[in-house]
């Protein structure tokens, strides 16, 4: 038995996991228990924080098959650990899809992959229990002849993993798709329904059909929040200070922590309740199911299992599961999934004739057969059935396996967002802990040498740790975020994940949904341009004219669509709707009663309004009147529809005019496609020029065509004819010009983002040509830039996957070349100039994106570098795109308005929803303003909050180091700061300054520079280290200089440094309280004054303003606080007040020494300001450590070149000093751009095809070949 085996779960999927099996070990458990006891529970906390340590310390390794506990680790870049307990379940069978009547009694049968032999006494002392209690026992009793089977499983992230003996691994049961059933088998074997026994049996494995979002109790949330390492450290600090009778500051920290925890709990609880309400709204409904005995039974939707046959009610319903239609037709609103609130017609799954070897009888797949699949959470508006037949659907997936379930799982269990600031913060804290460790050892050694009591040694040694690692740090860091959150709320942006505000400051790429985000929700008809006798007429505003009513052009507009009537209202694709409304015609559909009486579909009829028809009245008899009415009844019946296909880029219909024997075919679609299917003599010669004129203006152009069909084509023949036969040899009718209106704010906002060097990308569920048109219209793609469409095809018929490259339109003759000089460290140090680059953008649809992601992973990284338009993207593809962009080190923002954006909004570094519906539950930010103007506002506030976090973190680090220096110097003379000195510094100075220095509002505009992303960067380290050295130098100077003063002696109550000894008498001395801690002395007083001013100095120099925040002088609370503290400290320094001196335990020093202290303070302040402002901000930050080098690494139009802002000569000089060797950019996208700038084969030419290789050579998994 191989004990060290590591299994891979969900191989190749997003949630891929490594699994190791463990068995509980009693002696290890006992040892850990003792360890917990001896460490006062701290070991238990450590094991809670580190699940891998918990499992390894309490268990021994075993095979996955025999595991009692499994240790899971994600294979992504975060490598997170999880543990799960393996449970046992008894069931009457082992495979949920086998009929109970056919189950064998031998549990080790090969046909039972999930089975395990059940010995009479259960192994390992496990108590077997069914997943749902009594139903399994009831089933086992009912089938007592069969030996019960032991099933092993564990639950992770709302998904059950069952042990499969055949695979020797755990696997997920998703539903009916696991069987790989063909369409014909699905009709033949699964359309009759299940018996009650089968349904109960399957329910054991698939569980309750419910997307259960449990709202944790406040107590559970409280425990989870309180067990954060920072709060544990605060608790330790509070206990220590209480032991040292330092109650006031301890109370202040407790109050801050309680407020912080309460706010956090409220936010988390609110999120859970919102998500629960969104999911629970329609999760439990009553449904009718067909049983195997032709019975129809009404049950709760929670009892549905894969294989059940549900009856869809005629008045519609919210789907409680994923199901495939096997009879009838449904009209469904899928806005929950796609974001496009356009009703979609779902038809029944094709049932190929048995024996037919055509390709149509493929294995059922929800993605391939989505036109026949009703998805969970979508709204069935109405159904259609014929000759009394019910509309039925077979349940395919239930619970969290459904499309909606997966969406909810992505919200419940998001990947952590990695942000360098937080990683660096922990690293910085570790450095402070290291410094504290040195002080800890130093204080112990010094105290032992001076024979200090043990209790004092313990308290003072531990106290130095709480000084070095400030417990108020979380509250201080939160302050800036809370203020930013308040400012965002003021401008209508609501935040449910405050930590993301800081990350917004780093965003350098924003993905936008199109419909409802960049554009208004609908399309508008701009005009029409008809063709007659092979030439264009002048463009006309509309076709609502009497002279056109009987023209083929208007007939095509009135018939070639997929509109339907829902509750008397026309509904369908917005383009079709606008086109039909422009004709003014009326659409009439057969009623349910009419369709139920006929074996075949009654045709949809369209007719013009009477006022458009000729008004000639016959002057004749009654018979003539009847003939007139018949002739004036101009109606067209739509006999057959060939639905719009994004692959074919067209749709067509067969229609018949009332009274005519021959039928007509009408077609509409992409102009180039339609023109290629028409007779050449009917297409105008200037067709290409006219079309280009419209597309360059950003219009959506649709072409129309017509053909008179042969008289031999009857109704029956038309129903079975191939669309290729219809869609050929047509006559070109003209163009319809549609306008997808942009929201007024869109171009301006995108311009602001471009000027700030923030890339913009469109990711939409809409058509690609529309998306490219809108991208050009809004300025996302400049008019002269080339758009290269990547069409990817999966492997087929033994051929490898391939990508065909083509231009979206003819590139302008004046295609720009990169003439600007790219200035960067790379250019200065490495003189090989890159090749001139064209400005180009990639565009692709969802299918191509999936193929490229699977078969060309290296290519995908290069494509996203210049990818600007991603069309026809499914919700999960949007999420994958966000991850691909993050994979090349972009900080990605996502702005959308639909539930289909939920996964992407959650996954992005910063997601902002323009809708307050489903999307707002997943999105960290929700805007009340229904346009994208909120995006630059959010980034500005994010930058301000990020700089505030840096300022506060630097200030808190300096505060702890300054105090640490003071205490360490005083420890050397067995002294310390007094309790009230600590209290004054910690509350009056530190908390007041921290909470006011965070109030600077954001700068009024977005600049092209971005703040640093981490604390471990040269400018910030230089800043902190120089200030530490300055403070250390001046404190040591003060400490040594005071001891060199002629009046200096070891202080006692009789000391006469201020010539006050004459006023003291012996009784005063006797009454004086003995100073056990040796607080009152000249060194203490001098260091107290100097360090107090140092806190204020570093607060001023660290409180940065422009270009990310408003200047500090505009932050009046900070200015007032600083001035007040300066005034107070100078006042008590030069005008001692006895009560204040006693309270702060300050001693009197001569006036000349106070003047010398003032000199030290002034020089200290001057040096700090000069070093921080002039040396760091002007020289180092702007010249050497500038981070915006995107343009210099070939990130063309999407991330323009930085313009100006620094002295080029100085830059070159410093750069030569700083990079003697070739510099490689840190961000992966910059590195890729650098490589591509010298690649002669990039970008791919429109005449090439890229093919995937079976066996990659030289690290490349594709090759480019020229198409013939």
How deeply is 973 buried, as exposed, middle or buried, from its count of CB atoms within 10 A (0-12, 13-18, 19+)?
Answer: middle
Query: Measured between alpha carbons, how far is 1097 from 1030 in angstroms, rounded to an integer?
Result: 11
Structure tokens at 805: 């490259």
Residues 500-539: b if buried by 16+ CB within 10 A, e if exposed: bbbbbbbbbbbbbbbbbbbbbeebebbbbbbbeeeebeee
Active-site annotation holder among 165, 308, 463, 513: 513
* Contact assessment for residue 586 and residue 609, using Cβ atoms and an 8 Å cutoff: yes
As separate numbers, helices (DSSP H) first and strands (DSSP E) second, the chain gives: 42, 42
For 309-327, the three-class secondary structure string (H helix, E strand, C coil) is EEECCCCCEECCCEEEEEE
* Contact assessment for residue 413 and residue 157, using Cβ atoms and an 8 Å cutoff: yes
Query: Measured between alpha carbons, how far is 725 from 654 in angstroms, rounded to an integer?
Result: 12
* Contact assessment for residue 366 and residue 395, using Cβ atoms and an 8 Å cutoff: no
Bridging pattern class, strands 604-607 and 586-588: antiparallel
Q: Which residue has the tokens 């077609």?
A: 667
Structure tokens at 787: 């758009």
* Contact assessment for residue 204 and residue 91, using Cβ atoms and an 8 Å cutoff: yes
- Say how many C-beta atoms besides its own lie within 10 A of residue 636's C-beta: 23
Q: Which helix (H) or strand (E) holds 588?
A: strand 586-588
986 catalytic? Reply is no
Query: Measured between alpha carbons, how far is 250 from 252 in angstroms, rounded to an integer?
Result: 5
Residues 361-394: b if buried by 16+ CB within 10 A, e if exposed: beebebeebbebbbbbbbbbbbbbbbeeebbbbb
**Count of CA atoms in the C-beta half-sphere (13 A) of 890:** 33
Residue 1077, SS3?
coil
Distance of CA 159 to the CA centre of its chain: 21
Query: Measured between alpha carbons, how far is 267 from 246 in angstroms, rounded to an integer?
Result: 33
What is the secondary structure of 634-675 as a DSSP string?
--EEEEEEEEEETTTTEEEEEEEETT-SS-EEEEEE-HHHHH
* Contact assessment for residue 662 and residue 708, using Cβ atoms and an 8 Å cutoff: yes
> Taking Cα atoms as reference points, which of 826, 867, 823, 833 lies closest to residue 849?
867
Bridging pattern class, strands 759-763 and 509-512: parallel
Structure tokens at 222: 């409280």
Query: Measured between alpha carbons, how far is 575 from 743 in angstroms, rounded to an integer?
Result: 18
Query: Measured between alpha carbons, how far is 739 from 770 in angstroms, rounded to an integer?
Result: 10
**Count of CA atoms in the C-beta half-sphere (13 A) of 857:** 7
Query: Measured between alpha carbons, how far is 522 from 381 in angstroms, rounded to an integer?
Result: 21
Structure tokens at 763: 């990711």
* Contact assessment for residue 323 and residue 374, using Cβ atoms and an 8 Å cutoff: yes
For 315-365, the three-class secondary structure string (H helix, E strand, C coil) is CCEECCCEEEEEECEEEEECHHHHCCCCEEEECCCCCCCCCCCCCCCCECC
Query: Measured between alpha carbons, how far is 569 from 567 in angstroms, rounded to an integer?
Result: 6
The size of the chain, in residues, is 1268
Query: Measured between alpha carbons, how far is 997 from 1117 in angstroms, rounded to an integer?
Result: 8
* Contact assessment for residue 873 and residue 850, using Cβ atoms and an 8 Å cutoff: no
- Active-site positions read 513
């Amino acid at each position: 038995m191989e004990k060290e085996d590591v299994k891979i779960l969900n191989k190749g999927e997003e949630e891929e996991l490594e699994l190791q099996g463990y068995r509980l070990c009693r002696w290890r458990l006992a040892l850990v228990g003792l360890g917990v006891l001896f460490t006062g529970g701290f070991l238990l906390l450590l094991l809670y924080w580190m699940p891998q340590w918990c499992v390894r310390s309490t268990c021994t390794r075993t095979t996955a098959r025999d595991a009692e506990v499994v240790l899971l680790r994600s294979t992504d870049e975060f490598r997170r650990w999880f543990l799960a307990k393996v449970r046992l379940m008894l069931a009457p069978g082992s495979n949920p899809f086998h009929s109970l009547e056919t189950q064998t009694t031998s549990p080790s049968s090969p046909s039972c992959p999930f089975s395990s032999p059940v010995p009479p006494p259960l192994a390992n002392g496990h108590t077997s229990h069914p997943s749902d209690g009594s139903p399994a026992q009831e089933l086992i009793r009912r089938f007592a002849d069969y030996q019960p089977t032991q099933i092993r499983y564990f639950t992770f992230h709302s998904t059950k993993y069952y042990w499969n003996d055949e695979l020797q691994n755990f696997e997920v049961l998703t539903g009916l798709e696991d069987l790989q059933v063909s369409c014909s088998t699905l009709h033949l074997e699964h359309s009759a329904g299940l018996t009650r026994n089968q349904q109960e049996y399957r329910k054991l494995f698939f569980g309750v059909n419910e997307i259960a979002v449990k709202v944790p109790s406040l107590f559970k949330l409280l425990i989870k929040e309180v067990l954060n390492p920072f709060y544990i450290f605060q608790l330790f600090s509070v206990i220590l200070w209480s032991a040292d009778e330092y109650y006031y500051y301890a109370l202040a920290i407790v109050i801050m922590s309680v407020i912080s925890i309460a706010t956090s709990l409220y936010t988390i609880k609110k999120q859970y309740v919102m998500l629960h309400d969104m999911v629970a709204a329609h999760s439990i409904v009553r449904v009718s199911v067909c049983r195997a005995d032709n019975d129809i039974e009404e049950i709760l939707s929670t009892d549905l299992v894969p294989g059940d046959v549900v009856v869809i009610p005629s008045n519609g319903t919210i789907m409680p599961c994923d199901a495939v239609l096997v009879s009838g037709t449904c009209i469904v609103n899928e806005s929950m999934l796609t974001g496009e609130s356009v009703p979609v017609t779902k038809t029944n799954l094709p049932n190929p004739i048995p024996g037919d070897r055509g390709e149509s009888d493929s294995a059922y797949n929800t993605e391939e057969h989505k036109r026949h699949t009703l998805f969970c959470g979508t709204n069935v508006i109405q159904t259609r059935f014929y000759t009394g037949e019910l509309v039925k659907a077979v349940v395919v997936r239930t619970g969290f396996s459904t499309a909606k379930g997966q969406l909810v799982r992505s919200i419940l269990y998001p990947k952590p967002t990695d942000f360098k600031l937080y990683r660096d913060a922990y690293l910085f804290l570790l450095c402070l802990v290291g410094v504290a460790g040195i002080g800890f050892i130093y204080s112990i050694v010094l105290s032992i040498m001076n024979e200090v009591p043990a209790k004092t040694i313990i308290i003072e040694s531990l106290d130095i740790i709480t000084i070095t690692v400030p417990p108020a740090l979380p509250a201080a860091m939160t302050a800036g975020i809370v203020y930013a959150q308040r400012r965002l709320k003021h401008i209508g942006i609501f935040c449910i994940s405050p930590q993301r505000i800081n990350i917004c400051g780093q965003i350098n790429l924003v993905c936008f949904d199109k419909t409802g985000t960049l554009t208004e929700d609908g399309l508008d008809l701009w005009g029409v341009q008809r063709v007659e006798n092979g030439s264009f007429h002048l463009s006309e505003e509309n076709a609502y004219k009497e002279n056109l009513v009987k023209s083929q052009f208007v007939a095509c507009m009135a018939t070639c669509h997929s509109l339907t009537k829902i509750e008397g209202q026309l509904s369908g694709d917005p383009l079709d709707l606008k086109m039909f409304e422009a004709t003014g015609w009326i659409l009439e559909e057969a009623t349910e009663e009419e369709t139920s009486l006929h074996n075949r579909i009654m045709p949809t009829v369209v007719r013009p309004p009477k006022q458009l028809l000729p008004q000639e009245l016959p002057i004749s008899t009654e018979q003539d009147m009847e003939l007139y009415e018949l002739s004036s009844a101009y109606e067209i019946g739509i006999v057959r529809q060939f639905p719009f296909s994004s692959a074919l880029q067209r749709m067509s219909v067969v229609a018949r005019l009332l009274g005519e024997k021959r039928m007509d075919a009408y077609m509409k679609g992409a102009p180039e496609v339609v023109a290629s299917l028409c007779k050449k003599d009917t297409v105008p010669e200037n067709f290409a020029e006219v079309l280009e004129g419209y597309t360059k203006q950003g219009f959506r152009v649709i072409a129309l065509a017509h053909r008179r069909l042969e008289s031999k084509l009857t109704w029956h023949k038309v129903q079975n004819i191939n669309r290729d036969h219809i869609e050929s040899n047509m006559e070109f009718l003209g163009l319809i010009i549609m306008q997808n209106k942009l929201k007024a704010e869109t171009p301006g906002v995108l311009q602001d983002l471009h000027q700030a060097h923030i890339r913009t990308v469109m990711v939409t569920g809409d058509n690609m040509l529309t998306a490219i048109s809108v991208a050009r219209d809004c300025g996302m793609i400049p008019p002269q830039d080339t758009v290269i469409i990547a069409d990817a095809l999966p492997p087929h018929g033994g051929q490898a996957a391939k990508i065909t490259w083509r231009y979206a339109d003819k590139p302008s003759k004046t295609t720009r070349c990169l003439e600007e000089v790219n200035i960067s460290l790379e250019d200065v140090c490495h003189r090989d100039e890159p090749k001139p680059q064209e400005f180009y953008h990639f565009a692709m649809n969802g299918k191509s994106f999936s193929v490229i992601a699977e078969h060309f992973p290296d290519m995908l990284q290069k494509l996203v570098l210049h990818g600007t338009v991603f069309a026809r993207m499914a919700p999960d593809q949007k999420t994958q795109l966000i991850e691909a962009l993050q994979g090349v080190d972009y900080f990605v923002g996502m702005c959308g308005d639909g539930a289909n954006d939920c996964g992407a909004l959650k996954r992005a570094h910063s997601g902002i929803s323009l809708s307050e519906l489903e999307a707002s539950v997943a999105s960290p930010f929700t805007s009340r303003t229904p346009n994208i103007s909120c995006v630059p506002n959010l980034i500005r506030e994010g930058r301000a909050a990020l700089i505030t976090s840096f300022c506060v973190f630097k200030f808190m680090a300096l505060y702890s180091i300054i105090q640490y220096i003071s205490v360490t110097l005083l420890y050397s003379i067995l002294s310390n700061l007094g309790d009230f000195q600590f209290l004054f510094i910690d509350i009056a100075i530190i908390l007041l300054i921290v909470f006011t220095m965070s109030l600077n509002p954001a700068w009024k505009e977005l600049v092209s520079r971005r703040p640093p992303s981490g604390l471990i960067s040269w400018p910030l380290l230089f800043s902190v280290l120089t200030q530490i050295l300055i403070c250390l130098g001046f404190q040591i100077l003060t400490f040594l200089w005071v001891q060199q003063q002629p009046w200096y002696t070891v202080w006692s109550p009789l000391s006469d440094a201020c010539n006050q000894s004459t006023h003291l008498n012996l009784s005063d001395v006797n009454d004086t309280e003995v100073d056990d801690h040796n607080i009152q002395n000249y060194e203490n007083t001098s260091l107290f004054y100097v360090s107090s001013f140092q806190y204020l100095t570093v607060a001023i120099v660290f409180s940065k303003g422009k270009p990310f925040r408003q200047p500090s002088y505009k932050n009046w609370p900070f200015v007032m606080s600083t001035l007040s503290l300066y005034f107070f400290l100078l006042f008590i320094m030069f005008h001692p007040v006895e009560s204040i001196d006693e309270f702060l335990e300050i001693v009197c020093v001569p006036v000349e020494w106070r003047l010398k202290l003032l000199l030290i303070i002034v020089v200290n302040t001057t040096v700090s300001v000069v070093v921080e402002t002039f040396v760091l901000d002007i020289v180092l930050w702007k010249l050497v450590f500038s981070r915006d080098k995107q343009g210099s690494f070939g990130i063309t139009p999407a991330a323009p070149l930085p313009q100006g802002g620094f002295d080029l000569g100085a830059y070159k000089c410093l750069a030569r000093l700083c990079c003697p060797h070739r510099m490689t950019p840190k961000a992966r996208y910059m590195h890729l751009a650098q490589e591509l700038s010298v690649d002669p084969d990039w970008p791919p030419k429109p005449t090439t095809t890229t093919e995937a290789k079976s066996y990659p050579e030289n690290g490349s998994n594709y090759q480019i070949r020229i198409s013939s």
